[in-house]
Amino acid sequence: MPSAVPAPAPADSGTAQVQQVPVQQVPAQEASGGQAPVEKTDAQWREELSPEEYRVLRQAGTERPYTGEYWDTHTRGVYKCRACGTELFTSNEKFDSHCGWPSFWAPLAEGTVRYIHDRTLGMERVEVRCATCDSHLGHVFDGEGYGTPTDQRFCINSVSLKLVPADDATQ
């Protein structure tokens, strides 16, 4: 299944274009966008995260649809990784997909997430992980016809994210 992730348009283009580039499985230490990788023991993660956060972020679980905090949120701001605080997505790329989870058409910047081919549950999907702490975020899907600039849907678990509203970011 060919899959793609957005690449920023050249800086001198003067227009906001989004290109498609093939998904590549990238080791966490190479994908963290220059940020130092967060490495913790399993015991440290269990101590810092709630049981549900641990199940989703560290064991690649999925929260039930339409139950998460952000699936229907329209608050402007930045979505950070709940495990390590890395900025991953913004409300500018969030859209209503009506799938029951927060959906984005692109991550905040190249290198903030990494991609892993996921063949669990008899499906072929692309898993999305935080490039800094390697926590499971959700999956990305191509070609579903949502009419977004990338024709992609980053389907992300609310419990994997922490929204910092735009008003709070300046304080």
Q: Is the dihedral of CA 89, 91, 96, 99 positive or negative?
A: positive
For residues 131 and 33, is the Cβ–Cβ distance under 8 A?
yes
For residues 136 and 58, is the Cβ–Cβ distance under 8 A?
yes
Strand partners, 115: 25, 128
- Catalytic (active site) residue 155: yes
Which of 84, 130, 133, 155 is the catalytic position? 155
Residue by residue, DSSP assigns 47-89 as HHS-HHHHHHHTT---PPTT-STTTT----EEEEETTT--EEE
- Residues with a known catalytic role: 155
